[in-house]
């Protein structure tokens, strides 16, 4: 049987799989992606991408710009509410003006929330990944997989023919039911399946119900059904998702009933409705108990399936894919030891669990089930989930007295190891950039020009000694701290230094000068990279 060879095989062509393939291809790691469906999604599916996910995609030329073009064509604001229908005169508003409620983001990130449907975003990711050389194979199914000490052998099927693929590592982004998770016997926890929904994509004129250039997301609770409606999706259509009653299936939703449900949802009995597509899907709270099984790494819904109430499922999946990509790159290029890959589970699983639990809590309020036993209470401030989580692993050197928290208020950047490197406005040869723009391609060692030259010199030595991709930057030379916030936000003195990872997270910092920066930096890099 014919056998191909590739460093990384990605199974699944949704958010997690496409982002992993994209970021691997951008880093010049050969990657093959197999997806059993003939193409990317035609249903809008998840809506919106948070700023942290955009920051991780930002280093790839052209991606953020393409996402911005989609968003510019959809709308500038979002309303989220609970009501009987779109005409409900007294809805309970969850978010009334996105620009006002999320205004703090402008001070902490150069990116914005991209309010676009998953279908549109997937097409952007696919196109750019293919342009960068990723081998994306749709209508191709993984049939079997075996692991050994040196790699993974997968059997794939396309057009009725089967052949083998030999890979160093596999990214399992194969969805909620995850055949790979089941094949490898990975246990799961959580509340499990919470019910089934029928998603109805329809076209209709909602003038007077929906404000122009605005996304409207309403959780509906009336005498006929409960569900959610999303309008302004930018695909010439809207989506109504209805909870199925016990015993119902897709067969119970013919076109006539779909039209009736849409009319009830918008309170317009005579509305002209054209049903474009329908699909049934499970709403679940299911968490993989490990994100690693040998040489296979779980990402997206195969790692954490969560209710849609909160809108972070898609962003979390994108972040998974981006995250495993840079870790695999470091190991495959010899910059990090093989055990470095254990940090993926150590860092991403707590965040996946926290996000899934938060959305489960939201479900208990926005679409309350008959039995809420075991449902957590919603977070008072969801900003931490959006862009303020922290990591803890061997790839982070915590400081003495660290409280081990995994959420912090992003409005108060502090530069602590394990936290996202703060946004600071810099001037680079007359061009305004963010510190966020400095991260992505490798490690970055930052110091102030006043007392930081010793760190820059040490960085040059360690870069050559360990063979790592390390950029050394002195703030105050070619990079000018426009607002005078760099030292404060990164929590260092003029003689200190900060080491930022490829994912834009602070791995370590020295608050003050060090008498032997070469020895210190080598120790730090070896520990972080499992060398």
For the annotated catalytic residues, the residue numbers are 219
d(CA 285, CA 212): 34
Q: How far is CA 272 from CA 259, 262, 335, in A?
A: 9, 10, 60
Q: How many CB atoms lie within 10 A of CB 473?
A: 21
Please report how the helices 15-26 and 118-131 are oriented relative to each other, as an axis angle in degrees rounded to 10: 30
Per DSSP, the residues of 214-231 read EEEEEEEE-SS-EEEEEE
Spatial contact of 529 and 340, defined as CB atoms under 8 Å apart: yes
216 phi/psi in degrees, rounded to 5: -120, 125
Spatial contact of 529 and 336, defined as CB atoms under 8 Å apart: yes
d(CA 422, CA 284): 34
Q: What is the torsional sign of CA 102, 103, 109, 113?
A: positive
Cα maximum dimension of the chain: 79
**Structure tokens given for 106:** 């402008």
HSE, side-chain direction, 13 A CA sphere, residue 116: 22
Taking the mean position of all CA atoms in its chain, how far away is CA 529? 23
């Amino acid at each position: 049987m014919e056998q191909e060879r590739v460093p990384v095989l990605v199974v699944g062509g949704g958010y997690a799989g496409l982002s992993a393939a994209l970021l691997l291809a951008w880093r010049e790691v050969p990657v093959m992606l197999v997806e059993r469906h003939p193409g990317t999604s035609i249903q809008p599916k998840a809506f919106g991408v948070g700023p942290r996910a955009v920051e991780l995609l930002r280093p790839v030329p052209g991606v953020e710009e393409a996402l911005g073009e989609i968003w510019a064509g959809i709308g500038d604001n979002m309303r989220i509410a609970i009501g009987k229908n779109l005409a409900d005169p007294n809805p309970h508003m969850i978010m009334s003006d996105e620009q006002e409620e999320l205004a703090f983001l402008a001070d902490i990130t150069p990116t914005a929330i991209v309010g676009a449907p998953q279908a549109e975003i997937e097409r952007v990711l696919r196109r750019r990944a293919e342009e960068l050389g990723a081998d994306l194979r749709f209508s191709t199914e993984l049939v079997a997989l075996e692991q050994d000490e040196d790699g993974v052998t997968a059997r794939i099927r396309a057009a009725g023919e089967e052949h083998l693929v030999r890979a160093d590592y596999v990214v399992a982004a194969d969805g909620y039911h995850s055949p790979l998770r089941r094949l490898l016997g990975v246990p799961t926890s959580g509340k499990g399946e919470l019910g089934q929904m029928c998603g109805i994509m329809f076209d209709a004129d909602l003038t007077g119900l929906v404000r122009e250039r605005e996304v409207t997301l309403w959780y509906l609770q009336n005498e006929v059904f409960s569900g959610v409606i999303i309008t302004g999706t930018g695909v010439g259509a809207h989506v109504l998702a209805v909870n199925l009653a016990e015993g119902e299936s897709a067969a119970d939703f013919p076109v006539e009933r779909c039209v009736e449900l849409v009319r009830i949802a918008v309170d317009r009995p005579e509305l002209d409705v054209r049903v474009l597509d329908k699909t049934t899907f499970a709403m679940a709270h299911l968490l993989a108990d490990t994100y690693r099984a040998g040489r296979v790494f779980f990402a997206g819904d195969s790692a954490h399936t969560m209710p849609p109430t909160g809108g972070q499922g898609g962003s979390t999946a994108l972040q998974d894919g981006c995250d495993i990509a840079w870790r695999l790159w470091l190991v495959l290029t010899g910059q990090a030891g093989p055990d470095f890959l254990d940090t993926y589970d150590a860092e991403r699983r707590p965040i996946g669990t926290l996000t899934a639990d938060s959305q489960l809590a939201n479900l208990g309020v926005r679409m309350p089930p008959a039995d809420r036993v075991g449902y957590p209470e919603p977070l008072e401030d969801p900003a931490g989930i959006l862009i303020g989580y922290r990591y803890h692993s061997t790839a982070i050197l915590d400081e003495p007295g660290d409280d081990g928290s995994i959420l912090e208020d992003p409005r108060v950047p502090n530069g602590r190891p394990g936290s996202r490197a703060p946004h600071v406005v810099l001037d680079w040869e007359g061009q305004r950039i963010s510190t966020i723009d400095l991260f992505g391609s490798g490690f970055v060692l930052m110091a102030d020009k006043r007392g930081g030259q010793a760190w820059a010199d040490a960085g040059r030595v360690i870069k050559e000694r360990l063979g790592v991709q390390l950029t050394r930057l002195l703030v105050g030379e070619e990079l000018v701290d426009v607002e005078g916030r760099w030292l404060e936000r990164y929590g260092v003195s003029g003689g200190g230094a900060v080491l930022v990872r490829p994912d834009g997270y602070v791995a370590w910092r020295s608050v003050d000068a060090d008498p032997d920066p070469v020895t210190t930096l080598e120790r730090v890099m070896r520990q972080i990279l499992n060398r």
